[in-house]
Structures are given as C-alpha cells and as structure tokens.
Amino acid sequence: KENFTTFKFVGWPQVVTLDLSTNYAKQYKRLFTSALQKPANFNGHYVVASYGCGSGCMAYGIVDKQTGKVYQGPTDDYGGNYQVPNNFESTRYSLNSNVFKVVGYSHIDKYQFNGSTFTRLPYMGGGE
C-alpha cells in the first residue's frame, strides 16, 4: 500500500477577476483590469489606478486585489497653484496605510478609506 502526503500550498496566488457590477468598473474596465495585475500598493491589498480627467485633473480608482471590486477615489486631484513637497507622490498613499492624499486648490486633503468609502479627515493647516 502506498502512502501519499497531501500538501497545502500556503500563499498560492488566488485568481481574481475584475468585478464589473458597477458602471464605474465597466467604464474603466481596461484600466482596472490592468491595475488588478499589479502588486498591492494601498491599505494592504488594494491597488490604486489613476487616469486623467481634463486640464491637469487626475482621478483615482481603488481595486481590491482579493475581490476584484472597484471603488472610486475620494475626489479629483486638481493641483491648482499649490506647491506640493518634493516627496509628495511617494507619500500620497502607501501599502501600510488607509490614508489617501489629494491635492486641492490651496492645500492637501487627507481621506481615510474604510474598505468601501472614503471619509475626509479634518484639515489641520500647514504644509500637508
């Protein structure tokens, strides 16, 4: 009689497809499908995708790498005449944080992502 050992592969890549249940996900299907293939870069298991929305404006979508669900970013990023710090892009969002920064006309707004929606954090004044 042969003995077989069953192995459980821990960390085996899960195949996730883009959730197209919203018009937003359908409208930017190509962008979000591409984003889903990239490593997570926001709040543990999300990836941020950006796209232009006219005249220097940027908009953001957040794709959940575990479910394929897409969330619209907190607001458009206008930039205006506000001078951002040199390291701003590297601190806009991070894999280890649920805070997302957006450049407004006169200051940087911070939003907290709770897994489905963004909540604007109080503005404290100063550079960021």
More confident residue, 19 or 6: 19
State the Cα–Cα distance between residues 119 and 100, nearest whole angstrom: 10
Residue 68 contacts residue 18 (beta carbons within 8 Å): yes
Residue 49 contacts residue 60 (beta carbons within 8 Å): yes
pLDDT higher than 60, residue 38 = yes
pLDDT band at residue 39 using 50, 70 and 90 as cut-offs:
very high
What is the number of H-type helices and E-type strands within the chain? 3, 6
SS3 24: helix
Instruction: Report which residue type is found at 75.
Output: T
| 63-114 pLDDT per residue, tens | 999 999 999 999 877 766 667 778 777 888 999 999 999 887 777 889 999 9
